[in-house]
């Protein structure tokens, strides 16, 4: 990393305002400006979980070791569509009928722990938002949805992957 990049990161981190409620709520363990902004937006939007982050921010948090990235898609989606390297997997829904995984919160706790900053990724950001809500109800205080998901939103031709999402952003992924 160049000195200019390091200086820019330090400037951003030093200028970040961390709210007292963030510290008092037990969230100060990862007082990242990205997460603080996500929490503030979540509060403004009345989200039932900690917040949402963009794919690029999720990658930065994951790569720095500040968060655990959990793919909540089905095992088949991971295998045939691709996945982010070195991530963990806890399916939110399973089977051909996409039935909700009744053990999701327990499996998530086993893979990440309730105190960790957890980033949830699905295809488009919708299932991971529902999974984040369930995790928050299960006692996770630091669970975040990754906006746009792995494949992104549908375009005008009803296809994914053309204008947003993890893969469209050019972030690392592999396919089995």
**DSSP result, 53-122:** E-HHHHHHHHHTTS-EEEE-S-HHHHHHH-B-TT-EE--SEETTTTEE-TTHHHHHHHHH-TTS-EEEE-
Domain count of the chain? Answer: 1
pLDDT attached to residue 11? 42
Q: Do 136 and 129 touch, CB atoms closer than 8 A?
A: no
Pairing of strands 93-94, 99-100: antiparallel
Residue 6 lies in a domain: no
Residue 89 lies in a domain: yes
Distance between CA 77 and CA 71 in Å, rounded?
10
Residue 175 lies in a domain: no
pLDDT attached to residue 158? 81
Q: Do 50 and 136 touch, CB atoms closer than 8 A?
A: yes
Residue 58 lies in a domain: yes
Residue 57 lies in a domain: yes
Distance between CA 159 and CA 148 in Å, rounded?
13
Instruction: List per-block mean pLDDT (blocks of 10 residues) for the chain, which spans 176 residues.
Output: 40 38 40 93 98 98 97 95 97 90 98 97 97 98 97 83 88 93
Burial of 121 (C-beta count, 10 Å sphere; 0-12/13-18/19+): buried
Strand order in the sheet with 118-121: 51-53, 143-146, 118-121, 68-71, 88-89
Residue 151 lies in a domain: no
Distance between CA 16 and CA 75 in Å, rounded?
38
Q: Which two structure tokens, joined as six digits, stand for 160?
A: 């994914």
Residue 130 lies in a domain: yes
* CATH code: domain of residue 64: 3.40.250.10
pLDDT attached to residue 31? 64
Distance of CA 170 to the CA centre of its chain: 16
């Amino acid at each position: 990393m160049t000195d200019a990049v390091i200086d820019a990161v330090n400037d951003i981190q030093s200028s970040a305002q961390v709210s007292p409620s963030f510290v008092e709520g037990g969230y100060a363990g990862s007082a990242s400006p990205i997460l603080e902004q996500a929490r503030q937006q979540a509060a403004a939007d009345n989200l039932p979980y900690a917040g949402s982050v963009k794919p690029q921010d999720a990658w930065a948090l994951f790569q720095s070791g500040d968060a655990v990235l959990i793919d909540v898609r089905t095992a088949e989606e991971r295998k045939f569509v691709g996945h982010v390297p070195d991530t963990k997997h806890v399916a939110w829904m399973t089977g051909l009928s996409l039935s909700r995984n009744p053990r999701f919160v327990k499996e998530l706790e086993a893979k990440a722990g309730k105190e960790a900053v957890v980033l949830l990724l699905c295809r488009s950001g919708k299932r991971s938002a529902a999974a984040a809500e369930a995790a928050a109800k299960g006692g996770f205080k630091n669970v975040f949805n990754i906006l746009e998901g792995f494949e992104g939103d549908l375009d005008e031709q009803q296809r994914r992957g053309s204008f947003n999402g993890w893969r469209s952003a050019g972030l690392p992924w592999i396919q089995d």
